[in-house]
Each structure stands twice: as C-alpha cells, then as structure tokens.
A = this chain, B = another copy of it.
C-alpha cells in the first residue's frame, strides 16, 4: 500500500499542510480537537513518518545542528529544550554550538557542521551577521537551515520562527500606562538590530494609542548590560523630571536600574514602575520581583524544529519564505503593580 503524505491528509481534511504537520508533532499551537481529527485521518490513510530512511538515502547523519549566540541565556536554553524534545521524538540527535556573538566563529561553525554531515541546521544568528554567504552555502550543499528569533533577511528558500517583538513592546508599555505611568523611558540597544527595532516600535505605538507624546530624549540606547541600566537610572533621576515608568528591552538593564533606584531610596513601583523583557530566572527572585515579557522559548524551539522536520519531508514547498510569529507573554510581578 502506498503511504499517505501530509499533503493528502491536509487535502482530505481541507486544512493547511503545516497545521497537519504541527498536529502530528503534537504542537501546543494546534487545538486538541484538530489534533484528534488529524491523527484519526492519518491512521485511516496509513500515514507513517519516516524521515530517517530518507535521510540515510541522501547519505546524511541523523544529527541536527543548533547554533545560538550563547547557551547560558535563559531564552536560548529554553529554545534548545524545545528543539531537543521534538528532534528526539522524531529520532534525531542534536548537537549545539555557540557563536558567542562572533560572525567569524559562526561561519566556522556552519562549515564544520556541514563537514560533519548534519542533516539540517537551526540557527539564531549573531547581532553582527550581515553577510549571508555561509548561510546560503548550506542550501547549495543540500543542508536545509531554519531560523529562529534572530534571522537575516533575503534568504527566501526557508522559514523562520520569530517572537512578535512589536506586540511584546506594545504590551509592556500599555501595561505601564494602565498602571498610571505618564512619562515612560525606554532602554534599548542599537535599533539596527531587528528585535530592538521592533520592541521600540511597540513602545512607540502604545504611547500613540493612549495619546502620550513620543520623546526621543526618553529613549536610551546602550548595550543593555546591568551596568548600563544602573548608570541610565542615575541619569534619569538626576537629569529628568517626573519619569514614572521604565520599559527596558531586556531584563539585565531593568535589574541594574532597579538596583540603582533601591539604593537611592526611590520606591519601585511607587515612584517609578519597571518592566523588563526576557524573563531571566533572576527576575522572579529579586525584590521587588520584576514584571517582564516571556519570550516563549520552548514553544519557539519546538516550532522551529518542526519546520525543519517539514523540510526533510516535503522539501521547501511548505516552508518557503514562511514566517511563524509567536505571541509573547507579559508576566506581571511586583515592580510594576501600582494598584
């Protein structure tokens, strides 16, 4: 009997092939009801996934390579957890490499992974990656690559799974406005980096929605280290009047600002409310605990891995230039609760 494909299941149910694929991979993004329909139909049509056999035919290993800037960041270790979960279920091994934000290192890693004949690559690029030769080489070499979180534009034959950073920035800022803040500063990194550009855009559109003026002097660009947040909080207190809210594009700078304000006897959230971004583990234990935006790392990792598995099965027909956007989750804690 000829085995059914994902496309045939999708056609029979009149739904999207990618939904079928996600349902078969038990993704959280598919409703239980849809999952059941897909699984029933898959059984009925005699569908069985058999990726390894097809990879072995292509003389590939059963190893997926993952490249991230730093494994020690909470977001990246979460995405890796999601990737490993899906990959392992499908019979793949995972190897992980750190670019440490160095483009040269990233290039070496990619070439090394190809030399090791990995079957595919999942990557979140460095902040400096502009030249894409090492990435397009993968496709020329028959090694598919899928982006998650940080990506480069212009590579159309693949897909990406991104956090909706505009929405994250919007919700963080709107939350501060709902808490009564009227003069909200924004800590960000250089706006050429897409995630920071998007968080800034969210900040700006929340201000616009509630008729608060956008003021360039309230936007501070730094490397977003803890020390930057500490220093900038000092600057705000000494040089600006009436600031009552801070939205920081990462938790580290938010934690630095919190430290400065506590030491200076300024009440958080009473005088100044703070919201961070990324839900680092320390945010939950500091006092006051930090309101932040969770980046849904595990879910992003799962979906990125599923895209790659789709690619193995269907070539790039399904994921060609596809972007999956994941909503962030605002985690409200003490640092912003004024009511």
Instruction: List A residues at the B interface (Cβ < 8 Å).
Output: 61-63, 65, 71-72, 74, 77, 80-81, 84, 88, 93-98, 100, 105, 108-109, 112, 115-117, 255, 281-282, 285-287
Contacts and interface: CB of A to CB of B under 8 A. Distances in A.
Contacts of A285: 255, 282, 285-286
A95 B95 contact: yes
Q: Which of A71, A80, A286 has the most CB of B within 10 A?
A: A71
A34 B156 CA distance: 56
B93 A71 contact: no
A72 B280 CA distance: 12
Closest 10 pairs (CB-CB, A-B)? A72-B77, A95-B95, A96-B96, A93-B112, A71-B71, A285-B286, A282-B285, A116-B116, A287-B287, A282-B282
Contacts of A287: 286-287
B71 A96 contact: yes
B93 A95 contact: no
A84 B112 CA distance: 15
Given A71-B77, A72-B81, A93-B108, 17 more contacts: A61-B115, A63-B112, A63-B116, A71-B96, A72-B74, A88-B105, A93-B97, A93-B109, A93-B112, A95-B95, A95-B116, A96-B97, A116-B116, A285-B285, A285-B286, A286-B286, A287-B287
Contacts of A77: 71-72
Contacts of A97: 93-96
Contact of A96 (B62, B74, B95, B105): B95
A98 B84 contact: yes
A286 B255 CA distance: 12
A292 to B, nearest CB: 14
Contacts of A84: 98, 100
A216 B96 CA distance: 43
A96 B99 CA distance: 12
A100 B95 CA distance: 13
Nearest to A100: B84
Contacts of A117: 116
Contact of A80 (B63, B71, B81): B71
Contacts of A108: 93
Contacts of A63: 112, 116
Contacts of A255: 285
Contacts of A115: 61
Contacts of A109: 93
A114 B116 CA distance: 11
A113 to B, nearest CB: 8
A260 to B, nearest CB: 14
Contacts of A95: 65, 95-97, 112, 116
Nearest to A77: B72
A115 B93 CA distance: 12
Q: Which of A72, A105, A255 has the most CB of B within 10 A?
A: A72
